[in-house]
A = this chain, B = another copy of it.
């Protein structure tokens, strides 16, 4: 039903070159010929075949976005932003979800490379030298976000340590004396990438240790809710620091079941500032990820192909919302 350039050329009794000059309005063509060709094109519903064009030009105007999942609102918002920015620059998005599966991450990345996307934005689930050279083998501009891989890969993420430090200082200054850290540090597979969480943990420990008499307890297993259920919060003024709002909400729900009040009996803080918090009482303290900025930096660095020059390494400062849960 739809025609291609060759057929158009025949229909108009001109050569391929002329058709091309008309369609992509290049100079060097009689305005009337152009007009005629354009009308014929519209009449026959000509649609350029971008696969052919991309092959010819060695450029696809597509970027690959590879991330853990879309269930976490952080990622869906990120995808939204990347897609939005790409759209404005006439780029299109190939999406791949890894489910934190390292094999799948590699396959997805390989596919992106074979599809010759112009660049890749990657929230990595893998790390290590092997992975880093695997990335190099893809031979494409790659921007890592959130979790750092290497100093050899451009990166944009959060200034995690410092924000956690600020948070912990604030918590301590409110009189809390026992701090829990909730985050899946224990999930670490051989080459798993837990950069963000580790940074946050490091910031947590550093800051607490710079004070005297503050107790720290780490809950890194998936059964953190059960573990907290066995804690007696009346003995010591306690606060729970979570690396994600979801953890905090799970905990809040359980505390409520146990009849404990937040912040009356225990303080609670999340991370990410997901939309759902709007509907939660008490307003949860949290840290707002500058997602839009992150997406836009990631995208623009890829366009600039900063690959070869100085490897950019950007840390953004998130905003703390103190809410009413501390």
The answer to whether A152 has its CB under 8 Å from any CB of chain B is: no
Which residue from B49, B87, B94 sits with its C-beta under 8 Å from A93? B94
Check A47/B110 contact, CB under 8 A, given A71-B80, A276-B279: yes
Contacts of A48 in B (CB 8 A): 114
The answer to whether A36 has its CB under 8 Å from any CB of chain B is: no
The answer to whether A29 has its CB under 8 Å from any CB of chain B is: no
Bound CA–CA A97/B137 (angstroms): 31
Bound CA–CA A1/B138 (angstroms): 10
Bound CA–CA A14/B243 (angstroms): 56
Contacts of A96 in B (CB 8 A): 83, 87, 92-93
Contacts of A137 in B (CB 8 A): 45
Please, which residue of chain B has its CB at the minimum distance from the CB of A93?
B95
Are A94 and B92 in contact (CB-based, < 8 A)? yes
Prevailing SS type, chain A contact patch: helix
Chain A 42-71 interface mask (CB, 8 Å, partner B; 1/0): 000101111110110000100000000111
Q: Report how many residues on chain A are interfacial, defined by Cβ distance under 8 Å.
A: 49
The answer to whether A84 has its CB under 8 Å from any CB of chain B is: yes
Contacts of A47 in B (CB 8 A): 110, 113-114
Bound CA–CA A186/B45 (angstroms): 35
Bound CA–CA A50/B60 (angstroms): 11
Are A55 and B51 in contact (CB-based, < 8 A)? yes
Contacts of A110 in B (CB 8 A): 47
Are B70 and A70 in contact (CB-based, < 8 A)? yes
Are A115 and B97 in contact (CB-based, < 8 A)? no
In chain A, positions 88-121 with a C-beta closer than 8 Å to chain B are 92-97, 104, 110-111, 113-116
Please, which residue of chain B has its CB at the minimum distance from the CB of A137?
B45
Between A69, A80, A139, A249, the greatest number of chain B beta carbons within 10 A of the residue's beta carbon is seen for A80
Are B115 and A51 in contact (CB-based, < 8 A)? yes
Bound CA–CA A54/B114 (angstroms): 11
Q: A76 CB to closest chain B CB, in angstroms?
A: 4
The answer to whether A265 has its CB under 8 Å from any CB of chain B is: no
Check A92/B77 contact, CB under 8 A, given A116-B49, A253-B278, A279-B253: no
Contacts of A92 in B (CB 8 A): 94, 96, 111, 115
Contacts of A287 in B (CB 8 A): none
Contacts of A238 in B (CB 8 A): none
Check A70/B60 contact, CB under 8 A, given A84-B97, A92-B115, A96-B92: no
Bound CA–CA A199/B45 (angstroms): 35
The answer to whether A24 has its CB under 8 Å from any CB of chain B is: no
Are B80 and A249 in contact (CB-based, < 8 A)? no
A residues apposed to B, CB below 8 Å: 1-2, 45, 47-52, 54-55, 60, 69-71, 73, 76-77, 79-80, 83-84, 87, 92-97, 104, 110-111, 113-116, 137, 139, 249-250, 252-253, 256, 275-276, 278-281
Which 10 A-B pairs have CB atoms at the shortest separation, nearest pair first? A276-B276, A76-B76, A70-B80, A249-B279, A70-B76, A50-B114, A51-B55, A95-B95, A50-B115, A83-B97
